[in-house]
Amino acid sequence: MSARIIDGKGMAGALRARVAAEVARLATEHGVTPGIAFVQVGADPASQVYVRSKGKAVSEAGMRAIDRTLPVETSEADLLAVIAELNADAFVNGILVQLPLPKQIDAHNIISAIDPAKDVDGFHPLNVGRLARGLPALAPCTPLGCVMLAKSVHASLEGVEAVVMGRSNIVGKPVMQLLLAENSTVTIAHSRTRDLPGVCRRADLLIAAIGKPELVRGDWIKPGATVIDVGINRVQVDGQPRIVGDVAFEEVAQVAGAITPVPGGVGPMTIACLLLNTLRATCAALRLPCPAI
Ligand code: NAP
């Protein structure tokens, strides 16, 4: 194996510690504890695991986690009422609605109802638009984490040939915006892209966010490239459940210069960036300068 393994878990731990230090400072100097509300409709086991691990990270950073789990039959109107209540609550600095929502609820209507200043997921249309305009915005957590991981390898991303695989609203498109803000040259690839391996081979920086287990092979990689694997795919290997990324790790690591593992790469950075966004939202609400983290 030739590639350097990018230690997302270690980087996330360090980021969480820096956020926790700023949270402690807010408490001492301003008597404020950032609060984040987790809104979940129904008891989907996978969502519960995510919410629990995010809640634990929030508490460990010295923030308050507010659990708003609602019955699966909750109507859109009732959920909108909960969002309005959280928007008005000065002790709530961040609101996170766990997706997917049950089919009687239009997720777009709910996300659009969140106060953009508390939209720590960065999915509100105002934040999406501000990011696209290159204005300060709460940006989605996974893309923020991807760019931080890439910057741990490339001191500057300016002029870097970046290929983003996937054009979803939660990963691919915001990653593209963040990379453009770093002055990278960005190509977005998707399911209709012709000659996907050829497009990927152009990349100095390849970010794979497609949800296809180990689709990206060793011969798709430019020697020395940086590979950020966002994919989380549950597969069976020899009858045992395993989580793999969108990248065939062993093969790709022979060619790449640096690569994120799955698990232990992008995933931990996503949670750390949620804490960072909540800290930023709290500072903005208090009209305090955003800490340089
Ligand atoms: P998504 O909404 O399903 O979008 C997948 C994207 O990949 C689409 O743009 C799709 O193209 C493209 N695609 C699918 N198959 C392809 C193929 N064979 N070749 C080229 N492009 C292809 O997925 P997502 O929500 O962005 O998530 C992507 C992956 O990241 C999933 O495995 C998810 O679990 C993971 N994820 C991880 C984290 C984390 O914290 N680590 C966070 C979020 C997501 P079209 O647009 O043409 O359909």
Ligand 1 center to residue 34 CA distance, Å? 32
What pLDDT sits at residue 4?
98
Phi first, then psi: what are they for 160, rounded to 5°? -70, 135
Report the percentage of the chain scoring pLDDT > 90. 94
Q: Once rounded to an integer, what is the mean pLDDT over residues 17-30?
A: 97
Q: Which atom of ligand 1 is nearest to the CA of 210?
A: 7
Spacing, Cα 22 to ligand 1 middle (Å) = 34
Nearest-angstrom CA–CA distance, 184 and 8: 22
Of all protein residues, whose CA lies closest to atom 16 belonging to ligand 1? 191
SS3 letters across 154-221: CCCCCCCEEEEECCCCCCHHHHHHHHHHCCCEEEEECCCCCCHHHHHHCCCEEEECCCCCCCECHHHC
Please, which residues bridge with residue 189 across strands? 165
Q: Probe ligand 1: pick from 212, 230, 246, max atoms within 8 Å of CB?
A: 230
pLDDT digits (tens, 9 = 90+) for 211-258: 999 999 999 999 999 999 999 999 999 999 999 999 999 999 999 999
Catalytic pick among 40, 98, 118, 177: 98
Averaged pLDDT for residues 57-81: 97
Residue 42 Ramachandran class (φ > 0 left, ψ -120 to 50 alpha, else beta): left
Catalytic residue among 40, 118, 119, 121: 121
Band of pLDDT at residue 157, cut at 50, 70 and 90 = very high
Shortest-distance Cα residue to atom 2 of ligand 1: 168
Let me know if 267 is exposed, middle or buried by CB neighbors in 10 A (0-12, 13-18, 19+). Answer: buried
- Summarize pLDDT for 163-191 with one digit per residue, the tens: 999 999 999 999 999 999 999 999 999 99
Q: Which of 93, 121, 88, 98 is nearest to 22 (CA)?
A: 93
Between the two ends of the chain, the Cα-to-Cα distance in Å is 33
User: Does position 14 have pLDDT exceeding 70, yes or no?
Assistant: yes
- Residue range 126-134: average pLDDT? 97
262 C-beta neighbours (distance < 10 Å), count: 24
Ligand 1 center from residue 21 Cα (angstroms): 34
* 48-68 pLDDT tens trace: 888 889 999 999 999 999 999
Strand partners, 235: 242
Ligand 1 center to residue 32 CA distance, Å? 38
- Please name the residue whose Cα sits nearest to atom 22 of ligand 1: 191
Per-residue tokens: 56: 């634990």
**Is 222 known to be catalytic?**
no
- Determine the pLDDT at residue 47: 82
CA of 208 to the centre of ligand 1 (A): 8
pLDDT value at 292 more than 90: no
pLDDT at 43: 84
What average pLDDT does the segment 146-159 reach?
98
pLDDT score recorded for residue 200: 98
Q: Report, as an integer, the average pLDDT of 74-100.
A: 97
In the chain, pLDDT over 70 holds for what percent of residues?
100
Give residues with Cβ within 8 angstroms of 103, minimum separation 6: none
Give catalytic status of residue 54 as yes or no: yes
Which pLDDT value is given to residue 290? 86
Work out which ligand 1 atom sits closest to the CA atom of 246.
Answer: 32
19: tokens are: 């956020």
For residue 44, pLDDT over 90 is answered with: no
State the pLDDT confidence band at 208, using cuts at 50, 70 and 90: very high
Please report the pLDDT score of residue 271 as a whole number: 96
How many angstroms separate the alpha carbon of residue 168 from the centre of ligand 1?
Answer: 6
User: Measuring from atom 1 of ligand 1, which residue has the nearest CA?
Assistant: 168
- For residues 102 and 290, the answer to whether their CB atoms sit within 8 Å is no
Q: What is the mean pLDDT of the chain?
A: 97
Q: Which residues are near ligand 1 (CB < 6 Å)?
A: 142, 165-168, 170-172, 189-193, 196, 209-212, 215, 230-233, 266-267, 270
Residue 30 parent element (H or E): helix 8-30
Q: Which residue has the tokens 């049950």?
A: 102
pLDDT, average across residues 18-44:
96
Burial pattern 99-116, b for ≥16 Cβ within 10 A else e, equals: eebbeebeeeebbbbbbb
pLDDT at 1 over 70: no
User: Closest Cα to atom 30, ligand 1: which residue?
Assistant: 231
Please give the Cα distance from 216 to 213 (Å, whole number).
Answer: 8
Minimum-distance ligand 1 atom for the alpha carbon of 271: 40
Q: What is the 3-state secondary structure (H, E, C) of 262-286?
A: CCCCHHHHHHHHHHHHHHHHHHHHC
pLDDT band (50, 70, 90) for residue 199: very high
User: By alpha-carbon position, which residue is closest to atom 17 of ligand 1?
Assistant: 191
pLDDT band at 29 (very low <50, low <70, confident <90, very high): very high
Ligand 1 center from residue 193 Cα (angstroms): 14
pLDDT of res. 46: 81
